[in-house]
């Protein structure tokens, strides 16, 4: 039983109670069916655990050449666009937990399956919903929620500054960013724009030019990634925020960055503060924006 059915049963129980209160006791024929129905509904409610939450929902709508007002969408474009969007959400979601590699299947793809549950009107598009895991209830945590949230964040940042975009894609795998770029390309090639409505907050492209610009800004030519080694010493680490500062020897440069997921206990670094150390960092920069550093390895220098 999904949460909608559960709520419908609860609403029916309340309605039946209200009706039965008003029907005179002498109307035994009117009452007997409703009393039986109320008992059935109560038994049904008691037989299942209360659903913990509603499925995650979003709506993705399109405007432009491939749509006919709020009446319809050309099937070829609709299928391509929704497929590209689903791929982007899955890749961005999966990259929050692990590296995707450059090719092959997206890890845990099944965790990010979306159902099309209806058509969204206004412009034209699709109502999307997280697919139930066991065709019944939804688990407490949803991976899709953060995947869509992050997808929308990158879409928004693609219209912002280079620093905004660097920040938004900092934890996304390059392949995941590429899937989102591919979605932008699909809609721009068809001269369409999209809007993503998620949790009451709507992101929308104003025109095809914006989509093209966003596509370009997510291209590999505009996103510079590298691995670098520096010698110097740590100034300190905030263990909960997992932020570090590192002074590079022989320069005035102080690197601020995040401690990467490969280093479990960030607080350990505080034990070598001020001592000579070598660090390996992954750098990411969009356009001419600020370089973002992620610490992947460190070692104390013996000399």
Partner 1 sequence: MITNTIPDWNHQGVLPPINVNNPTSVDRSPYLVSITDIVLRFGTTTQRKGILSGLLTFRANLYSAGLIEGFQWIDGSFLENIEIIEGRSPIDIDVVTFFHLPSGKTQQDILSAHPRLFNPVHTKADHHVDAYFVHLDSNKLELLVQHFTYWYSMWSHRRNNQWKGYLQVDLSQIDDSTAKANLDEMKDQGGQQ
* Residue numbers at the binding site for partner 1 (CB under 8 A): 4-5, 8, 12, 15-16, 18-19, 22-23, 26-30, 32-34, 36-37
Query: Which is nearer to partner 1, 56 or 168 (by Cβ)?
Result: 56
Strand, helix or coil for residue 234: strand
- As measured in angstroms, the least distance from the Cβ of 6 to partner 1 is 11
Query: Comparing C-alpha atoms, which of 203, 97, 188 is closest to residue 156?
Result: 203
143-172 b/e (C-beta count within 10 Å ≥ 16 → b) = bbbbbbbbbbbbbbbbbeebbbbbbbbebb
Least Cβ distance, residue 18 to partner 1 (angstroms): 8
Minimum gap (Å) between residue 28 Cβ and partner 1: 5
* 208-217 vs 174-189: helix crossing angle, rounded to 10: 160
Q: Considering beta carbons, is residue 29 or 105 the nearer one to partner 1?
A: 29
- Taking the complex as a whole, the smallest distance from the CB of residue 14 to partner 1 amounts, in Å, to 11
Complex with partner 1: residue 23 or 202, whichever CB lies closer: 23
Minimum separation from the CB atom of position 256 to partner 1 (A): 51
* Cα(259)–Cα(274) distance, integer angstroms: 17
C-alpha 130 chain-centroid distance: 12
Reading the block at residue 269, the tokens are 């670094």
Measured distance CA(288)–CA(83) in Å, rounded: 32
Nearer to partner 1, 19 or 291 (CB): 19
Residue with tokens 């894609």: 169
Identity of the residue, 23 or 249, whose beta carbon is nearer to partner 1 in the bound complex: 23
Where residue 145 falls (left for φ over 0; alpha for ψ -120 to 50; beta otherwise) is alpha
Minimum CB–partner distance for residue 72 and partner 1 (Å): 17
Q: What angle do CA 138, 139, 140 make, to 5 degrees?
A: 120
18/47 with CB nearer partner 1: 18
């Amino acid at each position: 039983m999904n949460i909608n059915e559960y709520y419908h049963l609860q609403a029916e129980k309340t309605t039946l109670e209200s009706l039965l209160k008003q029907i005179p006791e002498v109307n035994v024929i009117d009452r007997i069916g409703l009393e039986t129905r109320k008992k059935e509904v109560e038994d049904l409610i008691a037989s299942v655990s209360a659903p913990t939450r509603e499925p995650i929902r979003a709506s993705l709508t399109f405007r432009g050449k491939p749509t006919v007002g709020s009446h319809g969408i050309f099937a070829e474009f609709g299928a391509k666009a929704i497929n590209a969007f689903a791929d982007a959400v899955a890749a961005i979601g999966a990259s929050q937990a692990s590296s995707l590699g450059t090719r092959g299947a997206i890890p845990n793809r099944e965790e990010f399956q979306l159902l099309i549950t209806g058509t969204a009107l206004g412009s034209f598009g699709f109502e999307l919903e997280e697919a139930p895991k066991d065709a019944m209830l939804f688990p407490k945590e949803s991976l899709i929620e953060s995947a869509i949230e992050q997808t929308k964040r990158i879409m928004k940042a693609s219209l912002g500054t280079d620093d905004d975009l660097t920040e938004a894609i900092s934890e996304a795998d390059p392949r995941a960013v590429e899937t989102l770029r591919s979605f932008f390309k699909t809609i721009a090639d068809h001269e369409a724009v999209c809007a993503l409505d998620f949790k009451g907050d709507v992101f929308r492209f104003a025109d095809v030019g914006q989509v093209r610009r966003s596509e370009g800004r997510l291209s590999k030519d505009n996103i510079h990634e590298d691995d670098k080694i520096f010698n110097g010493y740590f100034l300190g680490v905030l263990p909960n925020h997992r932020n570090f500062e590192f002074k590079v020897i022989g320069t005035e440069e102080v690197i601020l960055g995040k401690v990467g997921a490969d280093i479990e206990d960030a607080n350990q670094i505080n034990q070598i503060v001020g001592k000579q150390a070598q660090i390996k960092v992954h750098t990411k920069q969009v356009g001419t924006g600020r370089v973002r550093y992620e610490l992947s390895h460190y070692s104390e220098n013996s000399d």
